Amino acid sequence: MRKLKGWVIFTTVVFLLSLAYFVAVYNTYAGHQEEETVFSEIGEGLGGVGLIALAIIYGRTLLKLSLGKGTFGQRLLPEFADDLTRPFLKNVLNFLNKTHLHVGVVAVALTALHAVFMGMSDQNLLLWMVLLLVAWQGLFGFFLSWRYSPRALKKVSYFVHAQFLTGIAIGIFSLFGHLLAGD
């Protein structure tokens, strides 16, 4: 329960800070007039597919938490439904575990391509933070999967890459960043 309380506090703080930044910048930021070009249309499509990839990545994390052992996992998935859903959800989780590396690479690439095709404003720091956090996750995910990574680097990479808090920050920063961009 303490872990859940920490997540709620973290989410609230990041949300409030992002909201404050949004309000401050929205009142002073002239905005950026979106031009409908072939590239922006491609960028919108890539952003949608990238969002789906990120939803799969973080949905896997939520599924792992709900199937996990211990009190936190049991609170997410009540015991009465445990026997009915566990075999199906375990099969889904096995599939997601097998495809996690590939979906992660696609999510990082699509997020970067979306930013390139849409054109990023220098004043929208929230979207820059999204790019930074996605690259951060991708880099440490690479170190986890690279067979030549030293054991100590893999240990640190797992700790950094497995942070659900990064996903929460990515979601909140994306929401307010896209609102600033006028999407």
pLDDT in tens, 107-144: 999 999 999 998 877 778 999 999 999 999 999 999 99
pLDDT in tens, 156-177: 998 888 888 899 999 999 999 9
pLDDT of residue 175: 95
Cβ atoms of 138 and 104 within 8 Å: the answer is yes
Q: What is the pTM of this model?
A: 0.82
Half-sphere exposure of 170 (CA within 13 A, CB side): 23
pLDDT of residue 90: 83
Pair of tokens at residue 178: 């896209």
pLDDT of 66 higher than 80: no
pLDDT of residue 80: 43
Q: Which residue has the tokens 């790019």?
A: 131
